[in-house]
Amino acid sequence: MPAVSRIVLASNNQGKLHELQAMFAPLGLQLIAQSALDIPQAQEPFHTFVENALAKARHASRYSGLPALADDAGLCVDAFEGLPGVQTAFYCTQFGYTKSDDNNRRALLEQMQHISHRKAALVSTLVALRHTDDPEPLIASGRAEGEITRELRGTNGFGFDPVMFIPEANRTFAEMTDEEKNQRSHRGQAARLMRELMQQRWLK
């Protein structure tokens, strides 16, 4: 296929855009946020990360006419049997809070206040399409295991970074630099796998 240089990112999350732009820059790819192209948010009706990521990628590609990359990510807490999962972005709303990163963290710490088993994983699934009807989407997943802290730690990053403690690093993601986080994070793992797939299938 012709060389890919511009890809629409099927997300309005500025944190994701910042991270993924840095991760895909070595391939010479320009990620364009769908909001910059006036693409409305896609519906995410499914219960798995891969299904929602595929739906978002198809939606963005259909509106833009460009190849698309979508990330569906979330927090899977052992004590909650893997939830909130794909509903992570809206986690706090079930407890009466308005949707925001701050409120998601607040709600999580409140709900886990009396829970001693604090293992959790942040999961990211990336899906890339050459066009809307691409029959062979590229799919890459990453998983970062850790523990939920009892208080906020660190000021870098976004989402659940200040409460996601990574034992082997002895820090939360929010206490790491961007480079350190990208080396260990769920999104960093998925992005490295996706870069390899793109080089093998799209860019050779």
1 located within any domain: no
Q: Domain total for the chain?
A: 1
56 located within any domain: yes
124 located within any domain: yes
Cite the active site residues. Answer: 72
Asked whether the bond before 162 is cis by omega within 30 degrees of 0, the reply is: no
Q: Averaging pLDDT over each range in 1-5, 32-36, 161-165, which range is the top one?
A: 161-165
190 located within any domain: yes
Q: Using DSSP bridges, classify how beta strands 138-148 and 171-172 pair: parallel, antiparallel or unpaired.
A: unpaired
The whole-model pTM stands at 0.91
194 located within any domain: yes
Query: Tens of pLDDT along 77-123?
Result: 999 999 999 999 999 999 999 999 999 999 999 999 999 999 999 99
Query: Tens of pLDDT along 167-201?
Result: 999 999 999 998 999 899 999 999 999 999 999 99
123 located within any domain: yes
CA distance linking residue 103 with residue 22, whole number of Å: 27
CATH label of the domain that carries residue 172: 3.90.950.10
99 located within any domain: yes
Residue span of the structural domain in which 185 resides: 6-201
